[in-house]
Structures are given as C-alpha cells and as structure tokens.
C-alpha cells in the first residue's frame, strides 16, 4: 500500500501534533452533490450503488475532488449487516429503509444467522480495497458500522421509527431476547469492522444513531456495553500503523465519560454539547470529533466562518480535535457552502497548532 500523503486525521485521533485541524463530514458522499445523484441514477438504485465496487469508489472520492477533506469514508449503509442476516433490506422512495422480515420474537432472533462477513458482505470489502487503491495515499479511508443497538432498532421496528415502541417493548418485556439479538450483532460488527481493516480501512467509526433515545441505565446495558465489546475485539494495529476507533452516539453528550472509558480513541460529539465542556470532561483521555450543527451550512459564508471560529476557539490549543458536523450533511445544502466550511477549518485553525 502507498504511503499516506496526508495523515493529519489519523494523527489528530491519536492526539498527536498536526499543522491544521483535520476535517471531514459525515455523509460527505451523498445527495447534496449533483455528481452523486448522477452516479446513483446510473447505478439504478441505492443498493446497486453500494454493491458495485466501482460505483461505491466513485462516490466515495467525489467530495475529495471538490474539497480538501482530510479523510474519505467508505460509501455503504449501516444496514448491510441485517441484510446479510437474511432480513431483505429495501428502500422505498421518501420512506427510507425497510425490511421484508421483522425481528420481534425469541424465535425470530434464534433464526438469525451470524453472517460470514468475508463472503456474505464481500461487496463491502471489494469496495474498501478498491477505494483504498484509488486513493493512492491521498488521505486515510474510514470504515464504519452501525452499533448493535442502532441496528437492532431497525430490525425490530422494520425500518425507521419515531417512537421505537416495538424495540423498547422487547427491551423491557423480554430483555433476554434483546440481549441475544445484541450479542449476535456485536459478534458480527466486530468481524465486519476487522475485515474492513484487513481490506484497507485505516480508521473505523461506530454510528450509534439511536443510543440517545435510551435512559442512562438502558444505554449502559443495551448500547454501550456492546460497543465496548466491539472496541475490545478490534484490530488496533495494521500495516504498521495504529487503527483509531471513533464512537459516536447521537444525543449522547450526557454519557461522554462512559463512552471515553470504553477504550475508544475518539468520541464523536453532536452539536447539543459545547465542545469546550466536552473537552473539560474527557479531552485528555480521548480525541473529540465534531461538532457544528449541519444546519449552519444553510447560512452564508460569514456565518459559517464565525461558527467554525467559535468551535475552534472553544477547543483551543489542545491536541486531539477532528472537525466534523454534529451529524450528517443535509441533502439540501449548497455544495459551495460545504466548501466554505472546509476552507474555514483549515485556514482558521492554523493559529491553534503553532
């Protein structure tokens, strides 16, 4: 594999010195880019895009052609694992992901196979190796997975949910069934991320999108403990380099210390907790990734720059900041505004790294 020309993202995750604060955006390859929409149209549908390594590579690299981002993230979906367990993932226009089979009973959970990630999810690994080759050392490649709890919410609800009534009913009424589902998912996620690392991913992120809908005790029991199991089982050195791990629980700012104590290298932060507060709580222990409200990108250049400067000044002259949005970039953002954001991070952060 070629040498990395820009490793500031990996260095920041390990709280090492960098020249400027590295930046990438969750969902940076996505619907806000006209070139992404064109490639998706050529592919036919979303899953065809995910399952074709050349298309997945193309859309992964598209934002890097526009912006001087410091990392690429594998183009895929968090629901590839439930799909590989035989649940039949499909997408309905305007309604998001759905499953042909729903997992709600002890029998449903018992029937779920633990996939062989190297064969059942080989299209993901083909995409990782193709992207890594095409990047040719330009920036690091991030692999990812959904957290067991987040995957379980989709599997039990059958798709997206506003009230999580089915998954919460299972959690409270038959906790042993929920734990068996989460156990199977944790084993699979660990294998899945390790196979991504072996295929070329240089850092990995676990997206716990729905951990924030839980109470503290339920979060610790049904989400965090399984993410800790995954962190404990991950390959942390590969190709002569450390492989950093990022845990991101949306709406999880109240649990930062617990997340940091899992052994992760970095904690992802949404925009509901100020980054200076977060750093005062966990900053010497882990790196922090975040945390601008994605909606700021609807504003003009001056407002975007002011928000970037505020976050940078709150983090200050400290190691271990990866700048990101607090969640994925919205599909209706003007691509030029994303450019102002990336440019502002690099330009305004230099003074904090002298």
C-alpha dihedral (338, 342, 344, 350), degrees to nearest 10: 170
Would residue 303 show up in a list of annotated catalytic residues for this protein? no
Residue with tokens 């798709």: 159
Would residue 40 show up in a list of annotated catalytic residues for this protein? yes
Crossing angle of helices 165-173 and 175-199, in 10° steps, is: 120
**Contact of 322 with 18, CB cutoff 8 Å:** no
Is the link from the previous residue into 37 a cis peptide, with omega within 30 of 0?
no
**Contact of 208 with 250, CB cutoff 8 Å:** yes
Residues that constitute the known binding site for substrate: 27-31, 77, 154, 209, 327
Which of 32, 36, 154, 340 is the catalytic position? Answer: 154
Q: In Å, what is the CA distance from 96 to each residue of 46, 154, 189?
A: 11, 11, 22
Which of 31, 37, 241, 281 is the catalytic position? Answer: 31
Question: Rounded to 5 degrees, what are φ and ψ at 262?
Answer: -75, -15
Give the other-Cβ count within 10 Å of 121's Cβ.
22
**Contact of 127 with 200, CB cutoff 8 Å:** no
Q: CA 274 to CA 302: how far, in whole Å?
A: 21
Would residue 77 show up in a list of annotated catalytic residues for this protein? yes
Which of 37, 77, 108, 276 is the catalytic position? Answer: 77
Would residue 15 show up in a list of annotated catalytic residues for this protein? no
Residues that constitute the known binding site: 27-31, 77, 154, 209, 327
Which of 37, 40, 138, 183 is the catalytic position? Answer: 40
Would residue 133 show up in a list of annotated catalytic residues for this protein? no
Q: Which residues are catalytic?
A: 27, 31, 40, 77, 154
């Amino acid at each position: 594999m070629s040498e990395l020309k820009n490793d500031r993202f990996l260095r920041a995750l390990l709280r090492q010195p960098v020249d400027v604060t590295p930046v990438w955006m969750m969902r940076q390859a996505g619907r806000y880019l006209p070139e992404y929409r064109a490639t998706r149209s050529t592919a036919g549908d979303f899953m065809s895009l995910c399952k074709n390594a050349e298309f997945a590579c193309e859309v992964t690299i598209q934002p890097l052609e526009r912006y001087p981002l410091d990392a690429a993230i594998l183009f895929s979906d968090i629901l590839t694992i439930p799909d590989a367990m035989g649940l039949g993932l499909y997408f309905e226009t305007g309604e998001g992901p759905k499953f042909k089979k729903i997992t709600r009973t002890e029998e449903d959970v018992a029937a779920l196979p633990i996939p062989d990630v190297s064969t059942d999810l080989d299209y993901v690994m083909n995409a990782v190796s193709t992207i890594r080759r095409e990047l040719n050392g330009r920036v690091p490649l991030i692999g990812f997975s959904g957290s067991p709890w987040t995957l379980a919410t989709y599997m039990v609800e059958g798709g997206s949910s506003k009230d999580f009534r089915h998954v919460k009913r299972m959690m409270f009424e038959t906790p042993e069934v929920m734990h068996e589902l989460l156990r199977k998912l944790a084993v699979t996620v660990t294998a899945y991320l390790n196979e991504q690392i072996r295929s070329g991913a240089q850092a990995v992120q676990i997206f716990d999108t729905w951990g924030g809908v839980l109470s503290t005790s339920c979060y610790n029991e049904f989400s965090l403990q399984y993410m800790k199991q995954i962190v404990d089982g991950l390959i942390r050195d590969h190709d002569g380099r450390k492989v950093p791990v990022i845990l991101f629980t949306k709406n999880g700012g109240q649990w930062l210390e617990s997340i940091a104590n899992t052994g992760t290298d970095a904690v992802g932060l949404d925009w509901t907790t100020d980054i200076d507060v977060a750093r005062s709580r966990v900053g010497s222990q882990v790196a922090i990734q975040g945390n601008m409200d994605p909606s700021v990108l609807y504003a003009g250049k001056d407002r975007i720059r002011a928000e970037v400067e505020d976050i940078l000044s709150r983090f200050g002259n400290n190691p271990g900041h990866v700048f990101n949005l607090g969640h994925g970039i919205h599909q209706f953002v003007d691509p030029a505004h994303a450019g102002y954001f990336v440019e502002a991070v690099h330009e305004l952060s230099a003074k904090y790294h002298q």
